[in-house]
Amino acid sequence: MKNFKFTYRNTIVILIMTILTFTLSCTFDEEFDPNRPSLEGVLTDASVNQLNNLVVGVESGMRGGVAGQTTHTGTMARELYKFDADPRNTGDLLGANGASLDNNSFYSTSVWASKYRTIKNANILLEALDNTTSVGLQDAAGYRGFAKTVIAHQLIMLIKSYGSARVNVSDPSNPGPILGESDVLSQAAAILDEALNDLSSAGSSFSFPLAGFDGFDTPSTFSQFNRAVKAVALVYSGNKSGALTALNSSFFNLNGDLKTGPKHVFSLSAGDFVNGLYKIIDNNGDQIIVHNSFIADAESGDKRVENKTIARSDATTQDGLNGTHQTRLYASNISPIDIIRNEELVLLYAEANIPSNSSEAIKALNVVRNAAGLSDYNGSVSESALVDELLKQRRYSFWCENHRMYDLRRYGKSSSLPIDRPGDQVFNIIPVPLTENE
């Protein structure tokens, strides 16, 4: 059995560091000394304050790796280039000169590590709940529903990059095997159902605060987020009828605000961190440059191009790559990043209705098209044509949001991506870190 790299004790140190840097203001009980963190102190009759600090750490951890995962997969999917001092961003990720992806490089290890830190911290919260008398059954159910929902969400994020993941990591001395995509998605859906059962027993309110979950911060409204995540898992696994059922219990609304949904939040507070996807316009250093095809392939009048990108004063080049536009997806370095929003649910609804109900799928596609300033879809209603239209709308709605690479991979369309330089290659999956295969 290989040694799993995240032990409980290492994780609790990371957890406490994370808690101290999150945007919520927290105080520690005297027995929970942040200078000498004790896992035993948390796992032995944890106080409400300690449990709430664990929640803060788990929620904060969800933000970890988001910027990196987005730029890594976005580069591989020819959505963008990351022009900075690291040549691997314009070399390895594009398969320059026949190169292979490295399973011991930052693009392989960083996202895997951040997601499993969050999962392990959530497991610590679950274990602490099993050994505390500080909260009643209803409150404990709320904590469990939150923790399990986050675990499932992080597993789905792992699948999008790696196509496989470990599901059972609750015992660091005996972790479960690395499983394939279908098994992970199936187990993530089951975990979400467990979480929903917990949330249904949690009463009318949580006994802990959440940041960025405005409108989704009670057991009943958080359950809608839970169902939204399950709809993602089921669409990805091909269970379209199940996905429609989950959507009906989520915050999906064809006539609602497409921006509605929980978010990752950031701040300039001491020790906290900022939105790593924000870039200064016309900066000559670290930049997210728009792939030229995103501009060239857009329908005339698509407001998403103008809203998400901006023409640079001067075109920029690096390593034989070039671009005329850069990101302006986020207004500032503390702008929130969507975890999931109604726009995604509308497009999941469209996808789940292909091919069984083409008129309903087109209805949902038109909601997104019209919001972008485009007229109704008037193309073929064949399944292949509707899939192409779906992927087009997902491409423009979710530019630089960690969707494109996985969307093309799951539909077997990665080979349609352009080759920007002679000798480049198209990769659509990131290798599992070397340490997981030793």
Phi first, then psi, for residue 227 (nearest 5°) are -70, -35
CA distance 223 to 246: 11
Q: Is the peptide bond before 219 cis (omega within 30 degrees of 0)?
A: no
Beta-carbon contacts of 232 under 8 Å, excluding residues fewer than 6 positions away, are 156, 340, 344, 348
pLDDT exceeds 60 at position 392: yes
Write down the pTM of the prediction: 0.92
Domains observed in the chain: 7-76+102-211 (1.25.40.890), 287-327 (no CATH)
Tell me, what's the pLDDT at 246? 98
What tens digit of pLDDT does each residue of 186-222 get? 999 999 999 999 999 999 999 999 999 999 999 999 9
Say if residues 62 and 154 touch (Cβ distance below 8 Å). yes
pLDDT exceeds 60 at position 30: no
Give the other-Cβ count within 10 Å of 371's Cβ. 16
Tell me, what's the pLDDT at 118? 97
What tens digit of pLDDT does each residue of 216-268 get? 999 999 999 999 999 999 999 999 999 999 999 999 999 999 999 999 999 99
Q: Which amino acid makes up residue 247?
A: L
Pick the closest to residue 72 from 56, 86, 52, 62 (CA basis): 86
Q: Which amino acid makes up residue 182?
A: S
Pick the closest to residue 17 from 336, 271, 275 (CA basis): 271
Give exposure, 4-34, as e/b (b: 16+ Cβ within 10 Å).
bbbebeebbebbbebbbbbbbeeebeeebee
What tens digit of pLDDT does each residue of 119-139 get? 999 999 999 999 999 999 999
Tell me, what's the pLDDT at 26? 33
Position with higher pLDDT, 21 vs 75 = 75
Beta-carbon contacts of 137 under 8 Å, excluding residues fewer than 6 positions away, are 201
For the record, the structure tokens of 172 come out as 């660091």
Helix (H, G, I), strand (E, B) or coil at 178: strand
Q: DSSP letter string over 248-259?
A: HTTT--TTS-TT
pLDDT exceeds 60 at position 24: no
Percent of the chain with pLDDT over 70: 91
- Euclidean distance between the first and the last CA atom of the chain, given in angstroms as a whole number: 9
Mean pLDDT computed over 406-418: 98
CA distance 94 to 80: 11
CA distance 205 to 228: 20
pLDDT exceeds 60 at position 99: yes
Q: How confident is the model at residue 39 (pLDDT cuts 50, 70, 90)?
A: confident
What tens digit of pLDDT does each residue of 292-301 get? 999 999 999 9
pLDDT exceeds 90 at position 19: no
- Specify which residues 326 forms β-bridges with: 289, 310
CA distance 284 to 85: 11
For the record, the structure tokens of 62 come out as 């969800």
Mean pLDDT computed over 37-49: 81
